[in-house]
Amino acid sequence: MKAEPAEVSVDDALAAPNATVPWTGVRNYQARNFMRDTMRVGDGVLFYHSSCAEPGIVGLAQVASTPYPDPTQFDPASPYFDPKAVPESPRWLLVDVRVLKKTRNLTLPELRADPQLAEMLVLKRGNRLSITPVEPAHWRHISALLAA
């Protein structure tokens, strides 16, 4: 799950009550569907900083809630406001994410240079999704890299 550190960083999440933050602002249907259809409470999350000086994986987290309506879609003052969304039929969902630990920054160049991660969806050319699934083999390999 990608987050811009200026919006919510791994440190912000760790400082939040129970180290848990709502993953607001997802405005891509495919990313929303990953949250809605495949994420389950307790699933592992790679907390990734994007749109910053050194993008990369900066923490390990887990899904802490089932999907529920993102309240920012209804707030006209929010940059994530969606005038077509109505409370009776919300368009956008979120899950809560609990950070388990901050890690070293496993940078995007490191990830791209690793042949064992060549097929990782987030590294595919043209991928712009903020949320992508991670294959179990990729998860194990990244966990080992972060533990080294």
The pTM of this model reads 0.93
- Over residues 114-137, the pLDDT tens digits come to 999 999 998 988 888 899 999 999
pLDDT at site 101: 96
> Looking at residue 118, which CATH number applies to its domain?
3.10.590.10
CA distances in angstroms from 48 to 18, 55, 74, 86, 132, listed in the order given:
19, 7, 27, 30, 11
Full domain range(s) for residue 122: 2-147
Q: What is the average pLDDT across 32-38?
A: 97
CA distances in angstroms from 128 to 2, 92, 141, listed in the order given:
10, 18, 23
Distance CA 36, CA 134 (A): 16
pLDDT at site 127: 83
DSSP characters over 108-141: HHHHHH-GGGTT-GGGSTT---S-----HHHHHH
pLDDT band at 91 (very low <50, low <70, confident <90, very high): very high
Domain total for the chain?
1
Strand order in the sheet with 20-22: 2-3, 44-49, 56-63, 96-107, 20-22
